[in-house]
Amino acid sequence: MPMPPIISKKAARAQGLKRYYTGVPCKHGHTADRRVSDSGCLGCKNQRERDRRKKSEHQSKELQRNQLYRTQLRHDVLSNYGGKCACPGCDIAEPRFLGIDHIEGGGRKHRKEIGSGPGLYVWLRNNDYPKDKFRLLCHNCNHSYGHYGFCAHGVSNGKV
Q: What is the pLDDT of residues 97-137, one digit of tens each?
A: 999 999 988 888 988 888 877 889 999 999 999 999 999 99
What pTM did the predictor assign? 0.61
Q: Which residues contact 74 (CB under 8 A, 6 or more apart)?
A: 95, 118, 121
122 assigned to some structural domain: yes
Q: Are residues 15 and 70 in the same domain?
A: no
Q: Are residues 26 and 68 in the same domain?
A: no
Q: Are residues 23 and 89 in the same domain?
A: no
Q: Are residues 34 and 82 in the same domain?
A: no
* Cβ 27 vs Cβ 43: under 8 Å: no
Q: Are residues 24 and 62 in the same domain?
A: no
SS3 104: coil
Q: Nearest CA to 78 among 106, 98, 61?
A: 98
Q: Write down the pLDDT at residue 1.
A: 58
The DSSP code sequence of 70-82 is HHHHHHHHHHHTT
pLDDT tens for 81-92 read 999 999 988 989
- Domain residue limits at 34: 9-40
Q: Are residues 90 and 32 in the same domain?
A: no
Distance, CA of 135 to CA of 116 (rounded, Å): 19
Q: Are residues 112 and 59 in the same domain?
A: yes
